[in-house]
Amino acid sequence: MEIISGIHELRGRIVNCYLIVNNDEIILIDTGLPGNSSKITKYLENTLKRSPQDINTIVITHNHFDHVGSLSKIKEITGAKVAIHPADADFIRGKGNHVGGAFANAMIKLLKIIYQSKPVEPEILLSEGDLIGDYQVIHTPGHSPGSICLYNPKNKAIFVGDNLQYTKGKLQSPGEKLILEPAKYEESIKRLLDYDIEVILTGHTAPVTSDARHLLEDFVNRL
């Protein structure tokens, strides 16, 4: 569904993906679990009447497997360039390990085999302040070393990946067990108050389309 003009949310199993749609380019934010590629391509073709090859860039908000599981397949279909922060890049290259418990890591290895996920070499390594289309990169370590947000001052929308969740009318963290560096996470979230935000697009829950500033301030006060 279209959340605001030009931003489409694709709710998959567990993870949300987003399409930023302009006349001359489409940007995909995250790819979801393995097997999600067909949902993305069908939405492009059936709803937007666009070709999958119209995706120019795939931006990864962080390297956790539920966000990059379909990356190799989507890249194969679209030929799009992949953008990620360098601190999280080794995992998609196949050189780093997923940070999680033994059971989760074993499941990820199995899923990679079943879905034939392949390593991906990113073409774009993102740094603080870089621009992807109209969106500014904000490096927000804590949940993962290379977690990022993408903010657009024109529509005042921000993609936050797993940095924030919206449940029961409040913004929440992803949970203590999923915050690797609590001090850095708190610093990252407080920095978001420097931006004029009206729409918050999360990686797992419904988007915030009203009262976003107040909700963010309330969450920061509870940190």
User: How many whole angstroms separate alpha carbon 27 and alpha carbon 20?
Assistant: 5
Full domain range(s) for residue 55: 2-222
Print burial letters for 26-46: b (CB count within 10 Å at least 16), e (below 16).
bbbbbbbbbebbebbbebbee
Domain count along the chain: 1
Ranges of residues in the chain whose predicted pLDDT is under 50: 101-104, 106
Using only C-alpha atoms, what is the Rg of the chain? 16
Which residues, 6+ apart, have CB-to-CB distance to 199 below 8 Å?
3, 4, 7, 155, 156, 157, 158, 207, 208, 209, 212
Q: What is the predicted pLDDT for the residue at 50?
A: 95
Q: What CATH number is given to the structural domain containing 61? A: 3.60.15.10
